[in-house]
Structures are given as structure tokens and as C-alpha cells.
Amino acid sequence: MDEITVTAPATVSNVVCGFDCLGFALERPRDRFTLRRIPEKVVRIINKDGFGLPVDPERNIAGVTLVAMLEDSGVDHGFEFESDKRIKPGSGIGSSAASACGAAVAANELLGRRYSQDQLIEFALAGEMLASSARHADNVAPCILGGFTLVRSTDPLDIVLLDHPDLFAAVLHPQIEVRTSEARDLLPKTISLSSAVPAWANLGAFVAGLSAGDYGLIGRSMVDEIVEPARRFLIPLFDELKRASLDSGAIGGGISGSGPSVFMLSRDRPTAERVAKEMRNLYAAGGIEFNTYISAISSEGVRIEK
Amino acid sequence: MDEITVTAPATVSNVVCGFDCLGFALERPRDRFTLRRIPEKVVRIINKDGFGLPVDPERNIAGVTLVAMLEDSGVDHGFEFESDKRIKPGSGIGSSAASACGAAVAANELLGRRYSQDQLIEFALAGEMLASSARHADNVAPCILGGFTLVRSTDPLDIVLLDHPDLFAAVLHPQIEVRTSEARDLLPKTISLSSAVPAWANLGAFVAGLSAGDYGLIGRSMVDEIVEPARRFLIPLFDELKRASLDSGAIGGGISGSGPSVFMLSRDRPTAERVAKEMRNLYAAGGIEFNTYISAISSEGVRIEK
């Protein structure tokens, strides 16, 4: 096989009560990448999308991932990576993870599937580091594996695929850029132990709620008194979005990743559609461009298209 | 009904990765209390055990609980509380919670069962405050409800009863006293956000492991880099106990509550017995008196005996 096309899903990380460890995959949007084997031992990036990402492989997330895989595998060829991204960089729904994971899975196919999923996550993490300068797999894990994931540990890598009931996300992506590294600078370096206790209790309860299919518990557990207060001002009308969504039947939600996207979970698609409509109504009055997405939690991660 | 006898189970709280929120009930030891209606509008404490707990109801955990319930219910009588405790105060396996919960459940019976379980937990919490000067329900919840509980919130009270597979605890109680309030003073007031993330990821993974019956994941998640390092020196041979228990087949374990008891979980009773034997062997050489208990997680909380 000399060429392969894959699509990689957008992902929602943090999920309010699981900062740096929880994440889930969306059905859409998905990035589209084609990877070709080339005789030169280099990585060549071709951007077919209009995002103007660097073509220098050392400054490109997919490029870093591919260079690492070529080096590790010791093969005698290179890769041409054709990028047709649909997930806008800096959107907070895992654009960089999609690049890294799409590249990793595509390369693994062209390298004869020599790597395990955990190894692919490791390679993608190396790529992700370029975007966030932190080693955290909360977007990468669901992007590769699909579903709802909890990163128990990155060193050693220990990913838990969580049971969950039907859940539908309404995502609003305001077209303002929030850099992951800058959103990270807003975070407190230390927190009081007394504020950490409710944070871990909420995450434990959230996982219990997911596994029992208890929507009420899932909703009550989606509380974050640590990260959300530091970042919510980045997102215009954040409180109003949340209020209107909950009033429309959403279970809970908040900032997706480091923002600016906002996600709200609902128990069925009609509710998610109603929530998305409320979000659109709120933003329609302002001068900010935005997209909305409605999606189930996708059991599919990176998908091989042809 | 003018008199009732109840037994209240020992409980293990914190459970390594759930500081101030996780707890489970043991089958044994159990405290035994008899409560009598008396015409005088007072609370009278009679100690039949040898622990010398205060008989002034305002300085006695069961007393505080009973006074609060008498006041709230507005009845025209008092209570005589006869205490025959088997759970040594300051043992770290929920002695004060057993007093508070036993008193609350017994009083509710004599008051015509007017209170819900959540209300009984609230009354018992008021009693517990006397011991720990902190409002946390991680012993009280499993003592009332039985089973494995997660306190998502104490205000408002929100307790999650966790699904779990068969689990057997081996508990070693060294006869040294650790006051809950003093063990609390050892804790860091603030922690780094970067150390909080693995803590909540471990709790989330632990709950997922419990619900999936994944013993490997349960064990890997029983990690605590925050509280255990601050308290482990209180317990002679703590590291050796842990090492020997894991080598004998225990899944994981650590300090019970604020210590000095140490608990280790195993997937079956024979393994728990082997673990308890290893713990006894280690302590037999030293000069410290100790007890060991082997117990399944009890689905029963406070039990009405007659």
C-alpha cells in the first residue's frame, strides 16, 4: 500500500469535571488526510485546507508525529502528508489531536500496522506537545480510540474506555482564537486541598453516573470550580449559553478543551438540536461568526477511508 | 416502642484515591447501642464499654446527634443511650461515625421513622463534626447506607452508592492513637494543579474499575501522592505492610481514614486471609499491640437488632 486516506474526529476534552483526563469523540466535524509513501526520506506537508499551518515538518503537528514514526521504524522512505482539515485550529475541539492522530494511524497503515493503539497514542502525544507544550492525552485518546475515555496516567500510558449511555453534544464554536498554551497560562498553579476534594468527588460521581446511565447524576457532577472560573471570560456570553442550554433540557456542559468552543450534553438528539438552536439564537445577535455541531458520542476514532 | 438495640459497622474512608469522599462498610467490627425513651427531656449516656468516652451529651458524638434530633423533632421526652462500642475510638475505621450513625438510626426508630436516610446522614454529620471538626460524610454515608459510597457533595448532600465487584478487606489496627483532627493538621493546605490532575484521574478510573469489576484497574488506581505521603510516617512499617500485602495478592490499599489502621483489598476471602496473616507476621516482631479484621464489603449499614 502506497497511499491511504483517513478521517479523524473532533474531540471534546476536559468535559467540565475531568480537566486534563476526560474526553470524547464527536461524529463530526472530521479532518481528512491522505498519506503517501515517497522515496525521499523526508516528511513533506501539503495543505489543501486554508488554515495556513506550517509546512516545515518540525513545526507541524502531523509532521512531528510522522518524523518520530519514521525514525522509530527505521524504514527507508518518507511520507507526503496532504492535509484537508475541517476542524479549525484553536477551536477547542481537538484540531491538533486530529492532525496528530490522523497522521499516526495513516502512517501505521503504510508501515504494516506495526504499532499498537497505545503506541500510536504515544506518537500522537509527541505531536500534540507542539500545540499545548503539555503531555496530556485527553484529546488524543478519544481521537484514536473513539468513545468516552479517561486518561488515568500518561506515564505509563493507561487509558480507560468508559461505559456511557446515549449522549448527544451540541457544540458552539465561536470564531475567535484561543491558544491552548495561553489558556493554560490562565490556570492557577496551586489550588487549595479543600477545593480539590469536590473536584475529584465530582469526577468520581460523573464516571459512576456514566456507567449507571444516571443522567441526573451526570448533570449534577458536571461542575468545575477550578478551571472554568479562570477561563470562562474568554468566551463571550458563556454564562448565558449555559443557562439557556440547561433551560432547554441539556444535562450539563461547559468549555470544550481550552475553548473557545462550548459543548452541552443532552440525552437525545432532539434535545441537542433544541440546545444548539438556543445557542445560535444567543450568538446571532452578536457580531461573532460561529459554527454549531450536533453529534452523538462517536464510538469511532480515526477511520480509514480508502 | 420504648427501647431499641442497633449495631453500627466499622467503615473505611478515603480508600487511598478518594480522600474525604470514598468509603465502604465492613461486616465487622460493629458497635452495639441500646437507646431508650425516658420521660426527662435530656440525653443520658451510659458507657458499658471501657473506652471512657465523655458522658456529657454535648461532648459525646452520639449525644450531639441525639440532642439535635430531639430538638428538631420537638418531642416531649429524652433518650438514654447505652454504648457498648467494639470499634476503638481513634482507630481510623469510623468509630465516631458508628456512634453518630447508630444513635441517629436508633433515635429515628423511636421517633416513628420520621427522617429519611439523607436526613439521618445530616444528623450524624453534626455529631461527627465533634470528632473531626470537618463536615465530611465519607464514613457516615457507608455506615448508614452500607456498601461502597462516594460523597459527591455534602452541601447539598449527594451520596452515590457505587457498584462494585466482590472485594475483601484485610484491616490491621495498630493500637496507637491518631486523632483525626491532628492527622488533618498534617495535610497540605494547597496542592499543585499538576498533582491534583492524577489524583482525580485515579478516582475516576477507580470508580470505572469498580463498576466494570476490573480488579487490575482498581489496583492501579489506588494511588495517592497527596495525603498518603503526609501521613504514612504515623504508621509503623507502613511501606513494609503495603509491600508484603501486594506480594501476597492484595489488589491495593493504604491508610484507612486518617489512620492508624491500614486496609488492603483483595478479590477473595482466602487472599484477604493470607494478606492479614502477612500483616500480623510483620507486626508480631514489634512491640505494638494490634488487631486484624477480615471482612467483605458489607451491604448493610446500621442494623436494627431488636
Q: Looking at A104-108, A268-272, B211-215, B233-237, which range is the least confident one?
A: B233-237
Q: Which of A248, A258, A261 is nearest to A290 (CA)?
A: A261
**What's the rounded mean pLDDT across residues A241-254?**
97
Burial grade of A76 (CB within 10 A; 0-12, 13-18, 19 or more): exposed
Contact of A19 with chain B, judged by CB distance below 8 Å, is answered with yes
Cβ contact, residue pair B191, A189, below 8 Å: no
Could you give the residue numbers annotated as active site of B? Answer: 128, 180
Cβ contact, residue pair A208, B205, below 8 Å: no
| A128 included as an active-site residue | yes
Contact of B288 with chain A, judged by CB distance below 8 Å, is answered with no
Contact of B157 with chain A, judged by CB distance below 8 Å, is answered with no
- The pLDDT assigned to B133 comes to 67
Smallest Cα distance from B243 to chain A, Å: 20
Residue given cell 488506581 in the structure block: B221
List CB contacts (< 8 A) between B221 and chain A: 152
Catalytic residue selected from A27, A122, A128, A228: A128
Phi, psi (rounded to 5 degrees) for A189: -80, -35
Cβ contact, residue pair A204, B152, below 8 Å: yes
β-sheet bridge partners, residue A153: A158
Residues within 8 A of A (CB atoms), B 208-267 only: 208-209, 211-212, 217, 220-221, 226
pTM of the model: 0.95
**What's the rounded mean pLDDT across residues A254-265?**
95
Burial grade of B13 (CB within 10 A; 0-12, 13-18, 19 or more): buried
Q: Write the residue in B188, B196, B208 that is nearest to A160 by C-beta.
A: B208
Q: Which of B99, B103, B101, B102 is nearest to B89 (CA)?
A: B99
Cβ contact, residue pair B160, A206, below 8 Å: no
Whole-Å CA distances, A197 to A222, B47, B227: 14, 36, 11
Residues within 8 A of B (CB atoms), A 28-87 only: none
- The pLDDT assigned to A306 comes to 78
Pairwise CA distance, residues B94 & B26, whole Å: 10
* ipTM exceeding cut-off 0.90 for this assembly: yes
Q: Write the residue in A153, A196, A208 that is nearest to B207 by C-beta.
A: A208
How many CB pairs below 8 Å do chains A and B form together? 137
Catalytic residue selected from A5, A149, A154, A180: A180
- The pLDDT assigned to A276 comes to 98
β-sheet bridge partners, residue A47: A83
Searching chain B, which residue's CA lies closest to the CA of residue A19?
A: B197
Contact of A184 with chain B, judged by CB distance below 8 Å, is answered with no
The average confidence (pLDDT) of chain A is 95
Cβ contact, residue pair A200, B18, below 8 Å: yes
| A149 included as an active-site residue | no
List CB contacts (< 8 A) between B21 and chain A: 197, 200-201, 204
Tell me if B148 sits within 8 A of B14, measured CB to CB. no
- The pLDDT assigned to A18 comes to 97
- The pLDDT assigned to B59 comes to 95
Whole-Å CA distances, A269 to A166, A214, A266: 9, 17, 7
Per-residue pLDDT for chain B (306 aa), expressed as one digit of tens each? Answer: 899 999 999 999 999 999 999 999 999 999 999 999 999 999 999 999 999 999 999 999 999 999 999 999 999 999 999 999 999 998 999 999 999 999 999 999 999 999 999 999 999 999 888 877 677 899 999 999 999 999 999 999 999 999 999 999 999 999 987 777 777 788 999 999 999 999 999 999 999 999 999 999 999 999 999 999 999 988 999 999 999 999 999 999 999 999 999 999 999 999 999 999 999 999 998 888 999 999 999 999 999 997
Residue given cell 493504604 in the structure block: B254
List CB contacts (< 8 A) between B220 and chain A: 152-153, 158
At residue A186 the predicted structure's pLDDT band, cuts being 50, 70 and 90, is confident
List CB contacts (< 8 A) between A151 and chain B: 201
- The pLDDT assigned to B219 comes to 98
Q: Write the residue in B150, B163, B221 that is nearest to A201 by C-beta.
A: B150
Pair type for strands B78-84 and B43-47:
parallel
Smallest Cα distance from B257 to chain A, Å: 15
The helix/strand/coil state of A104 is helix
Contact of A20 with chain B, judged by CB distance below 8 Å, is answered with yes
Residue given cell 456498601 in the structure block: B147
Q: Which of B57, B100, B250, B229 is nearest to B169 (CA)?
A: B250
The helix/strand/coil state of A139 is coil
Residue given cell 489502621 in the structure block: B261
Helix%, strand%, coil% for chain A, nearest 5: 40, 25, 35
- The pLDDT assigned to A117 comes to 96
**What angle do helix axes A95-110 and A117-132 make, rounded to 10 degrees?**
140
Which DSSP letter does residue A188 get? -
For A115-156, write each residue's pLDDT tens digit: 999 999 999 999 888 877 677 899 999 999 999 999 999 999
List CB contacts (< 8 A) between B217 and chain A: 152, 160
Tell me if B41 sits within 8 A of B76, measured CB to CB. yes
Cβ contact, residue pair B200, A199, below 8 Å: yes
Q: Which of B172, B174, B179 is nearest to B286 (CA)?
A: B174
Pair type for strands B3-13 and B303-304:
antiparallel
β-sheet bridge partners, residue A254: A263
Pairwise CA distance, residues A66 & A53, whole Å: 16
